[in-house]
Amino acid sequence: MRFCIAILALFSLTGFAVADDLDDNYAALKDAQAKKDADTVKKLAIETSKSAKAEAGKPQPGDASEVDHWKQRVEFAKEVQTFAEYSLATTANAVPAKSVELVDALLEINPKSTYLDSCAATYLSALSKEGAKKYGEGAQKILNAAPNNEDALFALATGGMNGTYAARLINVMKSKAKPEGIGDADWERKKSLYLGQGYYVAGAAACNKSTWTDCDKNLRAALPLVSKEPAVAGPTYFYLGLANYNLSKLTSDRVKLQEAEKFSEQSAAIAGPMQQQAMRNVAAMKQELAAPVRR
């Protein structure tokens, strides 16, 4: 994440440099951001933003000779406002222990800041340690500013097993290019994790609504991505067994029943909350498969 600001040579009508709160705060904030001084960055970013908004909001002077100077000050104020947001985001990533208060300050000075996207992962990671409620609320704040932020979508999809957010997460991760500053291997791991969880949540949510075709489709897509994670693989196989069993009843498809039994056996082989029910389902499906086929 990079930031450039045009340092304007601003002079009064008499030729002396203009020194005010905006200039002083910007200089001090730039220094604190470079030093990764989180507490000072937070304090100065809020103060600098206030000064910048005040400067940018000043009306155009009536004296034509002062208009160019006013335009420069307004442009400078807008750039300083952007730097205040940038300083909070970069410092949040650099000092994770302070990320919650720094990003909350960023939300305070601009709830729609484009820099929220860049610090979302650090912010949400810290909030996840403060409980599900704060984690979900933080994710929603990020999503309000950045509707395609994968970290916020992941939090909301997995936090409440929400199929709508899961579908959005899948669409984002299928098309999103690797962000700047992340290695190829790290991005592929994240992409696989988020896609796997997205497909799993979408499939489980569909099963809960008895929309068996969607359940089967999403969970089959999840399998290659979650098969090595027992905590997710067990439920994935379980719901696949359930979906294919119900599809076999709707379509009188014996192959679907055989697949349902196979998936249920795979779930029964994995320790977890679904294991015992999967074992019972296997026994029932085996009994059905052993029964004479009615024509």
Q: What pLDDT, on the 0 to 100 scale, is given for residue 22?
A: 87
pLDDT one digit per residue (tens) for the chain, 295 residues: 655 554 443 333 333 333 478 889 999 999 999 999 999 999 999 999 999 999 999 999 998 989 998 899 999 999 999 999 999 999 999 999 999 999 999 999 999 999 999 999 999 999 999 999 999 999 999 999 999 999 999 999 999 899 999 999 999 999 999 988 889 999 999 999 999 999 999 999 999 999 999 999 999 999 999 999 999 999 999 999 999 999 999 999 999 999 999 999 999 999 999 999 999 999 999 999 998 766 5
> Which residues, 6 or more positions from 33, have their beta carbon under 8 angstroms from its beta carbon?
41, 86, 87, 90, 91
CA dihedral 133, 139, 142, 146 (to 10 degrees): -150
CA neighbours within 13 Å on the CB side: how many for 33?
21
> Which residues, 6 or more positions from 131, have their beta carbon under 8 angstroms from its beta carbon?
none
What angle is formed at CA 85 by the lines to CA 56 and CA 66, rounded to 5 degrees?
20
Residue at 161: amino acid letter: M
Using CA atoms, how far residue 1 sits from 83, 138, 188, in Å, is 12, 22, 20
What angle is formed at CA 88 by the lines to CA 170 and CA 70, rounded to 5 degrees?
115
Residue position matching structure tokens 């650090």? 122
Give the DSSP letter string of 199-266. HHHHHHHHHHTT-HHHHHHHHHHHHHHHTT-HHHHHHHHHHHHHHHHHHHHHHT-HHHHHHHHHHHHH
Token output for 43: 């304090």
Using CA atoms, how far residue 133 sits from 25, 85, 148, in Å, is 35, 26, 21
Query: What is the rounded CA–CA span in Å between residue 148 and residue 116?
Result: 12
CA dihedral 112, 24, 10, 71 (to 10 degrees): 30
- Tell me if 11 sits within 8 A of 73, measured CB to CB: no
Token output for 8: 């304007």
Q: What pLDDT, on the 0 to 100 scale, is given for residue 294?
A: 65
